[in-house]
Amino acid sequence: MNHTLPQPLIPGQPITALAPMQDVTTLPFMRIVNGYGPPDYFFTEYFRVHDHSTLEPHILESITDNPSGRPVFAQLIGEDLFHLERTVKLFDGYPLAGIDLNLGCPAPKVYKKNVGGGLLRDPERMDAILATLRAACGDGLFTVKMRVGFEDWDAYPIFLESINRHHVDLLSVHGRTVKEMYRGEPHYDLIKLAADTVACPVLANGNISSVTKGRQVLAETGVAGLMVGRSAIRNPWIFRQLRESFSGQAVFRPTLSDVRGYIDRLWEETRKPESPENRHVSYLKKFLNFVGQGVDPDGAFLHEIRRTRTAEAFFACCDRHLVEDGRAEILFADEPYAGLVARPNHETNRGKATCAEEFASG
């Protein structure tokens, strides 16, 4: 079985991919990322698969209306063999690059249903699902995104054997367990083990926070490419930057004025006419929890933006911290500032926090 993956934008370069993230990798966000320099591959939010599931229209449009021209993989989450097979057939005629299986979502409300990361507790069930989807995809591409285990990585070699046995075409590995969520440094040695073990190309996922970090992970693991999730929310230029670095070009450095423009695009692209202003402000703050990690080292912007309630206060805060008093030409930080995390729970002084972010699970 020899399925060929789509070529990256620049043939011969490592593959880049935007990670699937619930409530993030919607068509509006894909349009924004495309405008700043698209990844080689897009992956959708997950389509939920169960007894009465259909193809959710708002996710489907990220395949049918994506303006980038880049391949889009449809991610599924579920555990019922019959309905997984049924769902694959529903995609007949749609312009998708392939089917992707979610074996890594760490949200408790997901894994408690024995889907996503919860399936890593049951290697036999996982193997049966891989067999079913491989057969259902036929000559089409079948890819998997997984974590290294549920509570530990004892069964990880068994998972990799299943990936090989069922001829998966591309494996994306988030280098943490489900229970680790987004805490601590990913286990890049386990991603390297996958790259050394499986027959298909592997993408490294987890804390690919900058060009420097991405190149370091590529060198450490020997993977075929990089999948970027939360760092693309903070820095939508990252795929352009990676390509420039791989080509030996000067790497674009956004300023705080560029960030201010990005926030305007987020506001306009994600705004729904029927959505009340205060609700849209709250939605945008989920994105700015990440953006704010690169604005100032003290977290003053994060501290203030989290407390805005109206559009007027929201944009006044953005202007104050991003463009006024000579700040417009200050360079946006390449990496998140130390001590600033995206989740505001248990916030301490100046916007710093102690809890890991769960908004972008996927």
| pLDDT tens digits along 143-172 | 999 999 999 999 999 999 999 999 999 999
Residue 344 CA to residue 303 CA, distance in Å, equals 9
pLDDT of the residue at 1 = 57
Angle separating helix axes 27-36 and 57-64, nearest 10 degrees: 30
Domain coordinates in residue numbering, the chain: 15-246, 256-351
**pTM score:** 0.94
- Dihedral angle of Cα 328, 333, 339, 344, to the nearest 10 degrees: 60
Residue 247 CA to residue 272 CA, distance in Å, equals 39
Overall CATH class of domain 15-246: alpha beta
Q: Of 195, 141, 150, give the one whose Cα is nearest residue 173.
A: 195
pLDDT along the chain (362 residues), means of 10: 88 98 96 98 97 96 96 98 98 97 95 95 97 97 98 97 98 97 95 98 98 98 98 98 98 98 97 91 96 97 96 98 98 95 51 37 45
**pLDDT tens track for 189-235:** 999 999 999 999 999 999 999 999 999 999 999 999 999 999 999 99
